Structure 1
Amino acid sequence: MRFCRLFLPLFLLLCALPAHADTVTDLQALLGSLRTMQGEFTQTVVNRSGKTQTSNGSFAIQRPGKFRWHYRKPYEQLIVGDGKDVWLHDPDLNQVTVKQIDKALDSSPAALLSGDNHLEKRYRMKALQSRDNLNWVEAIPRQGDNNFNRVRIGFSGKEIRRMELEDSFGQTTRIEFRMIVVNSKPDAALFRFTPPKGADVVRQ
């Protein structure tokens, strides 16, 4: 199974410096002011045995509930949240998987970041020590049926720079964001998806 497929069955968060008590508040304020976010990403998945796989692509988020996560290498895959449903297209298999967005909010980094501003309703949040010149917040799901055991979000100023996720399969997913543009006006077509002709569509 490709590591990148973990995102829908399933995309994120020490050194000696002390954690700032207001780091959680800072992250909440950042998310509260975040309307859109676009850029490139590099994702590294480390499985239980230490084997790694790296992929990269582009992303776009429009809160609440809309996102586009496009893997380009090593395998193409597209995930689109249109505000109602989440669509996963695998061109190699010519298959599309559809899931209601309220069932997918905790299943991927894009879905998590594109949700509402009340992250604390679904996660217990705490500040971590600063590292790599970033402030860090750890989020642990309040419900036991979440795909992730914990998520760590690294941010600086008005930008989310990294995410680290530990899932129930013993895998760690690290995502680094770059070429970030926030609160622009992305093309609305980015958040629409029509299954290709002849594709096998599976609704979950």
Structure 2
Amino acid sequence: GADKGPTVKQIYENFRKVYLSSKNFQADFEEVTYLGGRKSTAKGRLIFARPNLLRKEYFDPKDPSKLAQLIILDGKTAWSYTPWLGQVTKQEMRGGKELLPGVGETFEKLLERYEVKLVPDEAANKKGVYKAEIRPKPELGGSKEYLEVWIDGKLWVPVQIAYHNPENKTTTIITFKNIKIDQKLDPSTFKFTPPEGVEVITVNVGR
């Protein structure tokens, strides 16, 4: 039967409206990576605030109350802290003010660089979730990497993202649960001070 669902443009415009009008987004996540027939799973919690603040906590698989890794982007510096290694890496953030470049762009602008299409996904569609595929245009000499994004048709936020890299045969699927938008956040959410006694490694990005 003819499905009178929204077009890919309407889905994107709805998502863009939510993105531009929201201050922050948080969710529990599960990250599954497939690499050459092997599968690894990580779970954690993510808090993102526009335009470029991020806190990503990975839980210890054996004991979810323990932190396996903490990533904080504070707008100037990207911090990665691995408690069991007693190690912190810090790196200057580059590349403009937006953490997700292109997200606030108009659909037309997005189409200049990417092929975007809706893909039927019966199980998702039944739940009011729409699946889009985003590929760099081959004529622009882009990479072979592509994204699949599942968008919730009520909240207009991504509930799942799959990132495919055919060149090294990697697929990473991130699923979001318990999504909350515009919560009051503690000012310390995106601040990081290396704990005493840990080794701090500064990573210089090549110019």
Contact residue 130 and residue 151 of structure 2 kept, 8 A: yes
Return the offset for 1:116. 6.1
Q: How many residues align?
A: 182
Match of 1:95 among 75, 83, 87: 87
Q: Which amino acid aligns with 1:77?
A: Q
Normalised by the size of structure 1, how large is the TM-score?
0.74
SS in 1 for 2:169: coil
**Is 1:38 aligned with 2:26?**
yes
Match of 2:159 among 150, 158, 161: 161
Contact residue 24 and residue 137 of structure 1 kept, 8 A: no
The 1:118–1:188 alpha-carbon spacing in structure 2 relative to 1, beyond 3 Å, is: farther
Q: Which amino acid aligns with 1:38?
A: Q
Which residue number in structure 1 is paired with residue 43 of structure 2? Answer: 56
Which residue number in structure 2 is paired with residue 7 of structure 1? Answer: none
Normalised by the size of structure 2, how large is the TM-score?
0.73
Q: Which amino acid aligns with 1:136?
A: K
RMSD: 3.3
Contact residue 134 and residue 148 of structure 2 kept, 8 A: yes
The 1:67–1:122 alpha-carbon spacing in structure 2 relative to 1, beyond 3 Å, is: farther
**1:103-136, Cα deviation, whole Å (9 max, x unpaired):** 5999xxxx538x8623839962513224213222
Match of 1:29 among 17, 21, 25: 17
Runs of at least 5 residues in structure 1 that lack an aligned partner in the other structure: 1-15
Higher mean C-alpha deviation, range 37-46 or range 95-104: 95-104
Higher relative contact order at CA 8 Å, sep ≥6: structure 1 or structure 2?
A: 1
Which residue number in structure 2 is paired with residue 203 of structure 1? Answer: 202
How far, CA to CA, are the matches of 1:95 and 1:200 in structure 2?
5
Which residue number in structure 1 is paired with residue 134 of structure 2? Answer: 139
How far, CA to CA, are the matches of 1:95 and 1:84 in structure 2?
20
Contact residue 65 and residue 101 of structure 1 kept, 8 A: no
How far, CA to CA, are the matches of 1:136 and 1:125 in structure 2?
14
Q: Which amino acid aligns with 2:197?
A: G
**Is 1:70 aligned with 2:68?**
no
Give me the identity figure in percent.
25
Return the offset for 1:98. 1.6
